[in-house]
Amino acid sequence: MDIIERRESAVRSYVRAFPATFAKAQGALLYDTSGKRYIDFFSGAGGLNYGHNNPQIKAAIMEYLAADGVTHSLDMATAAKVRFLERFEQVILQPRQLDYKVQFTGPTGTNAVEAALKIARKVKQRANVVAFTNGYHGLTGSALALTGNAHYRNPFYTSRANVTMMPFDGYFGSEVNTIDYFRKFLTDSGSGLDRPAAVILETIQAEGGINVARPAWLQALAALCQEFDMLLIVDDIQVGNGRTGRFFSFEGLGFTPDIVTVSKSISGYGLPMALVLLKPELDQWLPGEHTGTFRGNNLAFVGATEALRYWETDELTHAIQRRSRLLDQRLHTMQTSYPQLEAQVRGKGLIYGLAVGDPELAGAIGRESFTQGLILERCGAEDNVLKFLPPLVIEDELLAEGLSILNRSIATIVG
């Protein structure tokens, strides 16, 4: 740790919450250099949905490396990319009757968001975009301008010109319908809202505190987008790739986004990769208009292709539903057992939050959990929401063990 503290920039973050040097990882387990074992309820912020060193995905990548497969290819065609596109079409797009063009962007979520905004603004020939309170879309220029949390914002970093924030579902409590509020801004010529090219949102705000939008709200938003000719961009970077139980978070909710951003777990192995999915008529890019040196990460394509096997059957979806029930039940039990927490439970699939009344208390529980061998992140603008994001493939026993560690940690802290 000495070199980290002495040499690594002050911008470092997770190493402060999880002060160990990790050396080995398998599935939902991490081990530090002393051999201490940790259960991972964080999954690389959603980058490791299929677990650490998933054996099948690892085997495919090792085989590809051993055969001297191309690793870096910009956006030239490679056998690995062709295979990924074919399988993505067969396993994900066609069965869901989705027709999207696939854009490979620079391999971070935030770059996919930048690209999605650029193409939406270009197609609609309008600059303004609507984003939502407590949303998080990454920290580069235009993506940062959409991000709610004041911690990340500094007016000198980026301009909020051409971004209008609207209240997310439930922002004012259950009394106010925030779609009506948005509609009023669209219809009132005195509202000051420039006609938006697009609306961007997470169906479940992850960094923002695990705020789950209701299906009816999402459907009303999709209808509003149609009515006012605004593109609907779903940022599925954190809650896609099966996190909610289906491959895309919007599946079965009764609407189809115009643009979808995908990253994090798409490679299956924690390797950098990002996509923008576009309705074909929106694919109005000029060749090379949005480029990036690392758009051709072929090891990621091989991992991604192998990970798609999980979506050939419903087995993973059923396992996620089973684990989700366990998580939901145990969190509700803790909510009732420890009224001092003034806790709220929210989530879906394998993304859950335990919102604790006092952020200090949430911090203390997180730190105690880490000491007892559980990696648990916090989220929300006040950092008061304990966030549960275990690998989708976590064994039920490990999930239960992690929750027992949490229960013990809460008991230790609140007495």
- Per the DSSP assignment, residues forming a β-bridge with 72 are 297
Tell me if 277 contacts ligand PLP by CB under 6 A: no
Nearer to ligand PLP, 137 or 295 (CB): 137
Separate counts of helices (H) and strands (E) for the chain: 13, 17
Tell me if 104 contacts ligand PLP by CB under 6 A: no
SS3 139: coil
Q: What is the C-alpha end-to-end distance of the chain, expressed in Å? A: 32
Select the residue interacting with ligand PLP from 28, 29, 39, 45 (CB under 6 A). 45
27-to-261, 311, 392 alpha-carbon distances in Å? 26, 18, 10
Question: Rule CB under 6 A: which of 221-250 touch ligand PLP?
Answer: 235, 237-238
- Scanning 200-208, 291-299, 343-351, 387-395 for contacts with ligand PLP by CB under 6 A, the matching segment is 200-208
Strand order in the sheet with 22-26: 22-26, 29-32, 37-40, 374-375
Select the residue interacting with ligand PLP from 207, 258, 306, 383 (CB under 6 A). 207
> Least distance to ligand PLP from the beta carbon of 335, Å?
25
> Least distance to ligand PLP from the beta carbon of 314, Å?
25
Select the residue interacting with ligand PLP from 202, 258, 306, 368 (CB under 6 A). 202
Q: Which residue's CB comes closest to ligand PLP?
A: 109
* Separation CA 263–CA 271 (nearest Å): 10
C-alpha 23 chain-centroid distance: 25
Greatest Cα-to-Cα distance within the chain, rounded to the nearest angstrom = 64
Tell me if 133 contacts ligand PLP by CB under 6 A: no
Tell me if 43 contacts ligand PLP by CB under 6 A: no
Stretch (H or E) spanning 131: strand 129-132
- Scanning 120-128, 151-159, 202-210, 250-258 for contacts with ligand PLP by CB under 6 A, the matching segment is 202-210
Give the start-end residues of each E strand in 263-337: 275-278
> Least distance to ligand PLP from the beta carbon of 260, Å?
11
Nearer to ligand PLP, 113 or 356 (CB): 113
Select the residue interacting with ligand PLP from 38, 136, 338, 388 (CB under 6 A). 136
Tell me if 110 contacts ligand PLP by CB under 6 A: yes
Select the residue interacting with ligand PLP from 27, 106, 138, 242 (CB under 6 A). 138
Tell me if 134 contacts ligand PLP by CB under 6 A: no
Tell me if 368 contacts ligand PLP by CB under 6 A: no
Nearer to ligand PLP, 112 or 405 (CB): 112
Select the residue interacting with ligand PLP from 115, 166, 199, 206 (CB under 6 A). 206
Nearer to ligand PLP, 211 or 317 (CB): 211
Closest to 260 measured CA to CA, from 275, 241, 277: 277
Nearer to ligand PLP, 139 or 398 (CB): 139
Tell me if 144 contacts ligand PLP by CB under 6 A: no
> Least distance to ligand PLP from the beta carbon of 137, Å?
5
Q: Any idea how long the chain is? A: 415
Phi, psi of 121 (to 5 degrees): -65, -40
Tell me if 129 contacts ligand PLP by CB under 6 A: no
Tell me if 114 contacts ligand PLP by CB under 6 A: no
Tell me if 61 contacts ligand PLP by CB under 6 A: no
- Scanning 62-70, 108-116, 292-300, 359-367 for contacts with ligand PLP by CB under 6 A, the matching segment is 108-116
Continuous H helices in 93-249: 109-124, 141-146, 178-187, 215-227
For the packed helices 396-414 and 315-337, what is the interaxial angle rounded to 10 degrees? 20
Stretch (H or E) spanning 150: none
> Least distance to ligand PLP from the beta carbon of 77, Å?
25
Strand order in the sheet with 259-262: 101-104, 275-278, 259-262, 231-235, 198-201, 129-132, 163-166
> Least distance to ligand PLP from the beta carbon of 110, Å?
3
- Scanning 135-143, 160-168, 211-219, 346-354 for contacts with ligand PLP by CB under 6 A, the matching segment is 135-143
> Least distance to ligand PLP from the beta carbon of 171, Å?
17
* Separation CA 327–CA 313 (nearest Å): 23
Q: Are 245 and 324 in contact (CB under 8 A)?
A: yes
Closest to 366 measured CA to CA, from 389, 348, 342, 383: 383
* Separation CA 140–CA 160 (nearest Å): 12
* Binding footprint of ligand PLP on the chain (CB under 6 A): 45, 108-110, 113, 136-138, 202, 206-207, 235, 237-238, 263
